[in-house]
C-alpha cells in the first residue's frame, strides 16, 4: 500500500507563504482524488483542498484565492501553496489519497502562523 509523507510546515508570520509537499511511496497515477486536510487544536479535521486525477480542484471557502493545490504524478507528489497566511490557518495539515475505495493518510505537518 502506498504511504504518504508531508513536509514543508513551519512557523511563518501572518501574510507569509509556505508550500507543503506530500510525497507518495508509490505511483499516484490513475483514478484517484488527493486531498489536503487540516486540524486545529480543539477542532474537527476539515477538508481544505482536493485535486482529482484529471486536475479538477476544489477549495474550502476560507482558503479560496490564497491556497493552490497541485500534483505532479511523475514525481508522485502533491503540493499545497499557501499564500497570505492568517493565524486561523494554524493547524496540522494532512494529505490523503482516495483510490478504489481505499483511503491513505500521511502523518501530518504542523503549520503555525504567528507574529
What tens digit of pLDDT does each residue of 66-90 get?
Answer: 999 999 999 999 999 999 999 999 9
C-alpha cell at 6: 508531508
Q: How far is CA 93 from CA 29, 30, 100, 101, in A?
A: 22, 24, 23, 22
Residue 101, classed as helix, strand or coil, is coil
Tell me the C-alpha distance between 56 and 40, whole Å: 26
Convert the pLDDT of each residue in 38-53 to its tens digit.
999 999 999 999 999 9
Q: What is the pLDDT of residue 101?
A: 85
Q: How many H-runs (helices) and E-runs (strands) does the chain carry?
A: 0, 11
* Cα–Cα distance, 73 to 27 (Å, whole number): 7
pLDDT for position 42:
94
Q: Which three cell numbers stand for residue 57?
A: 480542484
Local structure of 5: helix, strand or coil: strand
Residue 104 near residue 26, CB atoms below 8 Å:
no
Q: What is the pLDDT of residues 84-111, one digit of tens each?
A: 999 999 999 999 999 988 999 999 999 9
Amino acid at each position: 500500500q502506498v504511504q504518504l509523507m508531508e513536509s514543508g510546515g513551519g512557523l511563518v508570520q501572518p501574510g507569509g507563504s509556505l508550500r507543503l509537499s506530500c510525497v507518495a511511496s508509490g505511483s499516484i497515477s490513475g483514478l484517484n482524488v488527493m486531498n489536503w486536510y487540516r486540524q486545529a487544536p480543539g477542532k474537527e479535521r476539515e477538508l481544505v483542498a482536493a485535486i482529482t486525477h484529471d486536475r479538477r480542484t476544489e477549495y474550502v471557502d476560507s482558503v479560496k484565492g490564497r491556497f493552490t493545490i497541485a500534483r505532479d504524478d511523475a514525481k508522485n507528489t502533491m503540493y499545497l501553496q499557501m499564500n497570505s497566511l492568517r493565524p486561523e490557518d494554524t493547524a496540522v495539515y494532512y494529505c490523503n489519497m482516495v483510490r478504489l475505495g481505499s483511503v491513505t493518510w500521511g502523518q501530518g505537518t504542523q503549520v503555525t502562523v504567528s507574529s
